[in-house]
A and B are shown apart, each in its own frame.
Chain A
Amino acid sequence: GAVVSQHPSRVICKSGTSVKIECRSLDFQATTMFWYRQFPKQSLMLMATSNEGSKATYEQGVEKDKFLINHASLTLSTLTVTSAHPEDSSFYICSAREPGTGATGNTIYFGEGSWLTVV
């Protein structure tokens, strides 16, 4: 299957600072990437859909100014948590949709995830 890489896997930052998480599709071009947040022992919560060359589409309740998403190329999307606070501490996962039609083009592959701790 397609490979998606996410970096960093773990990051600790001070309250009030910003942190950037990168999501890369390594062996395919992803026109669409997704960013999720996962709380302990819970399912994935979609934060936003990132489309290459256009603004991200945020889910209701997700602060656009706090969670900045940039999809500048077909292989890279970034999530920047601005002015981070301890309540932003969580596990963030990206995924990318493989191009194509049918099942192939409708499957998403996930990055390894990033643990963010805000102290």
Chain B
Amino acid sequence: AQTVTQSQPEMSVQEAETVTLSCTYDTSESDYYLFWYKQPPSRQMILVIRQEAYKQQNATENRFSVNFQKAAKSFSLKISDSQLGDAAMYFCAYRSNTGNQFYFGTGTSLTVIP
């Protein structure tokens, strides 16, 4: 099975600063999808950003962007101009183009310091 590793259990960032959350994954496939989900204190999982593996261009969504390094199997999330509302647990996820299952990392708890 594929594995997703988030090596940073906790991170903190000063409000308005930039923070990068790391994620690596293990796969032998060439076609797959990667996601970052945010889980705030309300516990609902919210899609932040997604990336198709066949696309070389890094995905961006407003203040959120990724650094996708396919050869290195790395998929980090950069949050620019951090806001208090960004405080949450962030999960990296992998999905193969075949099969149904999503594989989640263990999460990174992000604290935003006012």
Contact = CB atoms under 8 A, between A and B. Distances in A.
B62 to A, nearest CB: 14
B101 to A, nearest CB: 7
A58 B46 CA distance: 24
Nearest to A45: B104
Contacts of A34: 100, 102
Given A43-B105, A43-B107, A107 B100 contact: no
Interface stretch (A22-30, A76-84, A109-117): A109-117
Contact of A43 (B44, B101, B104): B104
Nearest to B51: A103
B106 A42 contact: yes
Interface in B6-54: 33, 35, 37, 42-47, 50, 52
A108 interface: yes
A57 B21 CA distance: 33
A24 B35 CA distance: 22
A43 B100 contact: no
Interface in A71-119: 91, 93, 95, 97, 102-103, 106-113
Contacts of B106: 42-43
Interface of B (DSSP majority class):
strand
Interface centre among B43, B45, B46, B107 (most CB of A within 10 A): B45
Nearest to A1: B47
Interface string A11-50: 0000000000000000000001010001001111010010
Interface of A: 1, 32, 34, 38, 41-44, 46, 49, 57, 91, 93, 95, 97, 102-103, 106-113
23 contacts: A41-B109, A42-B106, A42-B107, A43-B91, A43-B106, A43-B107, A44-B91, A44-B104, A49-B100, A57-B100, A95-B45, A97-B100, A106-B95, A107-B35, A107-B47, A107-B50, A108-B95, A110-B37, A110-B46, A111-B44, A112-B44, A113-B44, A113-B45
Given A43-B104, A46-B101, A97-B100, 7 more contacts: A34-B100, A91-B43, A103-B33, A106-B95, A110-B46, A111-B44, A112-B43
